Amino acid sequence: MSMFGSEPSRGEQGSAAHGWDETVGLLTWHFDSQGRMTAKPVAAEPAARWLQSSSMQRVLASNVGNWLGGAETAPHELFAGCRLVPVSWTNAGGETELVVIMIMEAGALESPRFETICEEHEVDPAGMRAAMHRCVLTPDSYARQVSMLLGRANAERASAAQRHAAAGDLAKQLAEAYEQISFLYRLTREMTALDSPKQFVTALCKQLHHLLAYRWIAVRYVPSRLAIQGLEREVIVEGELPFPAPMFSELSSHLIEAWQADDWTHVLEPDSNAIASLAGSQIVVEEVTYDDCVIGALLAGNKEGEDTDWSTADSQLLDAAAGILGAFHQNVIRYEELRSLFMGSVRALTATVDAKDPYTRGHSDRVAHLARQLALAAKLGEEEAERVFLAGVVHDVGKIGVPEAILRKPGKLSDEEFDHIKAHPVTGFNILKDIPQMADLLPGVLHHHERWDGKGYPRGLAGEEIPLMARLLALPDSFDAMSSNRAYRPALPREKVLEEIRNCAGTQFDPKLASRFVTLDFSEYDAMVGDHRHQDAYAA
Amino acid sequence: MTPRAKRILVVDDEPHVVYVTRYKLETAGYEVLVASNGEDGLKTACAELPDAVVTDFQMPGGDGFEMALRLRTNASTADIPVIMLTARTHKLKPSELGRTSIRHLMEKPFSPTELLEKLTELLCGHGQNDAGDRAA
């Protein structure tokens, strides 16, 4: 049933040959895959003297190698009418074993050559004839046919064994191709993890290490203007380096210099390269490039197993992986560019508001910061907290539409003036509503002035009708307003602000969020207030 | 007596998948049975009671999921663990999987090494020697 390799259950099969003498009743010699004789003919004297003689050993020795290797499959004629017929097979371990059968024609025992042999071995021909009779197949034509038949079968078996070996190789190669395809397929799917480049590179090394027989796989990034944050000068290693990591880092820099000097080789040999010599092994290197510049290298060394030489398959896979690293690098850079363009636009918007009202300078950033802290305290995920942060940055964008005179007015506002102020959430909503990347922030922008008791604006929503993002913004928004100097009043001390928030929990604020808010750590917030004051002084 | 090799039934209509899987499993010492669709797979499983089944999902002549459902409802085959190879487009709900003996899903293109590791993991609870003892 088995097409490939061994089966433990069939381990007994290998010994089947040892029953040949009894079952076939002929004289046989047995050889293992290494050509060592494992059994010899059981024959009584005087035949044993000839069969076990050194001349017989020499004849066997000169043929066994070719018979085992399949180079020769035909019988060997000892003398006219006496043949040594090889029959080989594959044992349970996949190795070729050999049995050599002596087949004689009846006439051979009467031939002058037979007489000579008897003389050479100083045996009586009559006794020898009687002993050798069991090798004789009659009639003579039958002996010839059996010899030819066995020889032919042996040739067929040898060629089948070759085809079988080729099929085994093919299966092995196909399995390797499967590994490669599955690896590359998985990698290309993971390439979207642009937020955590190091994680992607680490995962890539891990998978390569799992797939290839190298003791270590490493990615070394070099200092470069094209480096990405989090990866510059990084050395990511999977497996065991045969030398300390800092040394590797230094040596691999030279390697990349060599590439730049157009002296690149994909396989470093121990006798010509310092790193390979330290490792005591070949090292396969594939460059990672971006925009025609080398930004790093993917290295694999100390291959283990039977064949420690690098293979084309290894090199192809490493090359493909290095290509993916380059493409990933490009994606990360593009993504960063997009993100900074986006954040730049957002900052430009809020800067416009800051420019109109110096009292609120830095307000959006501080609200954003506290809102993120509160979101995390309320057990929202990192990603959601980031969105809350962004909503904080843009929440007051609508103040662009409020006249400066009203924003900066020191005294109490008239109803009409206050209506202008109250329009800013809706104005903000309208400014941002066509930006798809901000769609999820809109509820925060529109409703951050709603109150828990329904007395807020613009819609008068109450309780949990108010979107969570808006409830998360309302607390830091009021907190920062109370903590800052305003045109109409000076800043309140921290204790007073927190007391006010506690008092307004359940009326103005979501009570659960309010109780979390008052326990936040405000040290970073205070540092931001300091920074913004400093910037104000500088601007003035 | 030498321990009996664990027998794995491989069900797939693509000969190259069968070829590679067979090579990988046989060189690791498993005995491999083959069927080319769910219908044949079910018959072979009931007749031979393999130690595990590796099956494709979509095949002409009885898909792998239907086979896994029926393996589960048949008392003699209910406990045979199944690994299913699927294209990414086929999403199976946990509730659907719960009605079958499918213990692990692997996406095609799959890694033969990973398949072997998963199989060994699934079968390690009752390893080769145990099976040998029972057979003896």
Contact A331, A457 (CB under 8 A): no
Per-residue pLDDT for B126 more than 50? no
What local confidence, expressed as pLDDT, does residue A262 receive? 60
Q: CB distance A178–B109 less than 8 Å?
A: yes
Tell me if A177 is assigned to some domain.
Answer: no
Residue from B4, B23, B32, B89 whose CB has the most chain A CBs within 10 Å, to mutate: B23
What local confidence, expressed as pLDDT, does residue A173 receive? 86
Q: CB distance A2–B26 less than 8 Å?
A: yes
Tell me the residue range of the domain where A76 lies.
8-167
Contact A231, A197 (CB under 8 A): yes
Give the residue-averaged pLDDT of A528-540: 68
A211 or A2, higher pLDDT: A211
Which amino acid, residue A307?
A: D
Q: Please check whether residues A290 and A405 belong to one and the same domain.
A: no
Distance from CA of A317 to the nearest CA of B (A): 14
What local confidence, expressed as pLDDT, does residue A9 receive? 33
What local confidence, expressed as pLDDT, does residue A28 receive? 87
Fold type of domain B7-130:
Rossmann fold (3.40.50)
Residue from B89, B111, B116, B118 whose CB has the most chain A CBs within 10 Å, to mutate: B111
Domain total in chain A = 3
Residue from the list B2, B26, B109 with its beta carbon closest to the beta carbon of A3? B26
Nearest to A100 by CA among A22, A16, A15, A28: A28
What local confidence, expressed as pLDDT, does residue B136 receive? 32
Tell me if A182 is assigned to some domain.
Answer: no
For the beta sheet containing A214-221, the strands, ordered from the edge strand earlier in sequence to the opposite edge, are A235-239, A214-221, A293-303, A283-290, A267-268
Give the residue-averaged pLDDT of A293-303: 90
Torsions phi, psi of A152, nearest 5?
-65, -45
Q: What is the CATH number of the domain that holds A469?
A: 1.10.3210.10
Strands A214-221 and A235-239: antiparallel
What's the whole-number average pLDDT of chain A? 85
Give the residue-averaged pLDDT of A387-393: 94
Express each pLDDT in B77-115 by its tens digit: 999 999 999 876 667 788 888 888 899 999 888 999 999
What local confidence, expressed as pLDDT, does residue A260 receive? 64
Which residues in chain A are contacts of B19 at CB distance < 8 A? 171, 174
Which residues in chain A are contacts of B5 at CB distance < 8 A? 7-9
Q: Please check whether residues A535 and A484 belong to one and the same domain.
A: yes
Q: Which tokens hold the place of B134?
A: 């029972």
Query: Which chain A residue's Cα is nearest to B16?
Result: A174
Handedness of CA B5, B6, B7, B13 (dihedral sign): negative
Rg from Cα positions in chain B = 14
Residue from the list B22, B31, B111 with its beta carbon closest to the beta carbon of A182? B111
Which residues in chain B are contacts of A183 at CB distance < 8 A? 111
What local confidence, expressed as pLDDT, does residue A279 receive? 86
Which residues in chain B are contacts of A178 at CB distance < 8 A? 20, 109-112
Nearest to A88 by CA among A1, A20, A26, A138: A20
Q: CB distance A179–B112 less than 8 Å?
A: yes
Percent above pLDDT 70 for chain A: 92
A89 or A442, higher pLDDT: A442
- How many inter-chain contacts (A to B, CB under 8 Å) are there? 62
Express each pLDDT in A167-180 by its tens digit: 888 888 899 889 88
Residue from the list A7, A178, A210 with its beta carbon closest to the beta carbon of B20? A178
Q: Which tokens hold the place of A469?
A: 């993002």
- 3-state DSSP call for residue A78? strand
Q: CB distance A172–B23 less than 8 Å?
A: yes
The residues of A whose Cβ lies within 8 A of any Cβ of B are 1-9, 11-12, 168, 171-172, 174-175, 178-179, 181-183, 185, 210-211
Q: Report CA dihedral (A100, A106, A112, A115) to the nearest 10 degrees.
A: 70
Q: CB distance A7–B5 less than 8 Å?
A: yes
What local confidence, expressed as pLDDT, does residue A23 receive? 63
Per-residue pLDDT for A429 more than 60? yes
Per-residue pLDDT for A4 more than 50? no
Q: Please check whether residues A137 and A268 belong to one and the same domain.
A: no
What local confidence, expressed as pLDDT, does residue A176 receive? 86
Torsions phi, psi of A507, nearest 5?
-110, -65
ipTM summary value: 0.83
The owner of tokens 């197993």 is A305
Residue from A3, A6, A7, A9 whose CB has the most chain B CBs within 10 Å, to mutate: A9
The owner of tokens 């080989």 is A88
Nearest to A395 by CA among A358, A426, A419, A434: A426
Q: Please check whether residues A220 and A83 belong to one and the same domain.
A: no
Quick check: pTM over 0.80?
no
Per-residue pLDDT for A358 more than 50? yes
Query: Which distant-in-sequence residues (6+ apart) come within 8 Å of A63 by Cβ?
Result: A72, A76, A84, A86, A100
Residue A108 CB neighbour total at 10 angstroms:
21
Where exactly are the structural domains of chain B? 7-130
Q: CB distance B113–A179 less than 8 Å?
A: yes
Which residues in chain A are contacts of B118 at CB distance < 8 A? none
Q: How confident is the model at residue A27 (pLDDT cuts 50, 70, 90)?
A: confident
Of A112-126, A186-200, A371-385, the range with the lowest mean pLDDT is: A186-200
The β-bridge partners of A288 are A296
Per-residue pLDDT for A369 more than 90? yes
Report H helices in A289-411: 312-356, 363-377, 382-394, 404-407
- 3-state DSSP call for residue B9? strand
What local confidence, expressed as pLDDT, does residue A538 receive? 57
Per-residue pLDDT for A521 more than 80? yes
Angle of helix A382-394 versus helix A468-483 axis, rounded to 10: 50
Per-residue pLDDT for B53 more than 90? yes
Give the residue-averaged pLDDT of B19-38: 94
What whole-number distance in Å separates Cα of residue B130 and Cα of residue B135? Answer: 9
Q: CB distance A178–B112 less than 8 Å?
A: yes
Q: CB distance B24–A211 less than 8 Å?
A: no
Give the residue-averaged pLDDT of A468-487: 92
What local confidence, expressed as pLDDT, does residue A131 receive? 81
What whole-number distance in Å separates Cα of residue A78 and Cα of residue A95? Answer: 27
For the beta sheet containing B52-56, the strands, ordered from the edge strand earlier in sequence to the opposite edge, are B31-35, B7-11, B52-56, B82-86, B102-107
The owner of tokens 């659960």 is A512
Please return the burial class of A317, using the count of CB atoms within 10 Å of its CB with bins 0-12, 13-18 and 19+: buried
Which residues in chain A are contacts of B24 at CB distance < 8 A? 175
Nearest to A413 by CA among A487, A302, A356: A487
> DSSP string spanning A331-345?
HHHHHHHHHHHHHHH
Q: Report CA dihedral (B5, B11, B15, B20) to the nearest 10 degrees.
A: -40
What local confidence, expressed as pLDDT, does residue B25 receive? 95
Percent above pLDDT 90 for chain A: 36
Tell me if A30 is assigned to some domain.
Answer: yes
Distance from CA of A178 to the nearest CA of B (A): 6
Q: Please check whether residues A143 and A249 belong to one and the same domain.
A: no
Query: Which chain A residue's Cα is nearest to B114?
Result: A179
Query: Which chain B residue's Cα is nearest to A7?
Result: B29
Q: How confident is the model at residue A94 (pLDDT cuts 50, 70, 90)?
A: confident
Handedness of CA B95, B96, B98, B102 (dihedral sign): negative
Give the residue-averaged pLDDT of A70-93: 85
Q: CB distance A171–B23 less than 8 Å?
A: yes
Per-residue pLDDT for A106 more than 70? yes
Q: Please check whether residues A153 and A281 belong to one and the same domain.
A: no
DSSP A399: G
Q: CB distance B27–A4 less than 8 Å?
A: yes
Q: CB distance A7–B111 less than 8 Å?
A: no
A129 or A452, higher pLDDT: A452
- The Cα-based distances of B68 to A47, A117, A287, B74, B99 in angstroms read 66, 72, 47, 10, 9
Distance from CA of B31 to the nearest CA of A (A): 7
Per-residue pLDDT for B128 more than 60? no
Which residues in chain B are contacts of A7 at CB distance < 8 A? 5, 26, 29, 31
Of A133-142, A485-494, B127-136, the range with the lowest mean pLDDT is: B127-136
What local confidence, expressed as pLDDT, does residue A8 receive? 32
What whole-number distance in Å separates Cα of residue A327 and Cα of residue A171? Answer: 32
Distance from CA of A15 to the nearest CA of B (A): 14
What local confidence, expressed as pLDDT, does residue A15 receive? 42
Q: CB distance A1–B22 less than 8 Å?
A: no
Of A81-90, A207-216, A491-500, the range with the lowest mean pLDDT is: A81-90
Tell me if A343 is assigned to some domain.
Answer: no
Q: CB distance A8–B29 less than 8 Å?
A: yes
Per-residue pLDDT for A1 more than 50? no
Which amino acid, residue B48?
A: E
Q: Report CA dihedral (A382, A385, A386, A387) to the nearest 10 degrees.
A: 130
Tally the C-alpha atoms within 13 A of residue B86's C-alpha that lie toward its C-beta.
Answer: 17
What local confidence, expressed as pLDDT, does residue A13 receive? 38
What local confidence, expressed as pLDDT, does residue A45 receive? 77
Q: What is the CATH number of the domain that holds A264?
A: 3.30.450.40
Which residue, of A334, A369, A393, is where some domain finishes?
A334
Distance from CA of B46 to the nearest CA of A (A): 19
Contact A282, A303 (CB under 8 A): yes
Of A303-307, B48-52, B124-128, the range with the lowest mean pLDDT is: B124-128
Residue A100: enclosing H or E segment and its boundaries? strand A96-105
Which residues in chain B are contacts of A168 at CB distance < 8 A? 23
What whole-number distance in Å separates Cα of residue A97 and Cα of residue A75? Answer: 16
What whole-number distance in Å separates Cα of residue A476 and Cα of residue A370? Answer: 6
Strands B102-107 and A76-79: unpaired
Tally the C-alpha atoms within 13 A of residue A324's C-alpha that lie toward its C-beta.
Answer: 25
Q: CB distance B22–A6 less than 8 Å?
A: no
- The Cα-based distances of A395 to A399, A449, A529 in angstroms read 9, 10, 18
- 3-state DSSP call for residue B32? strand
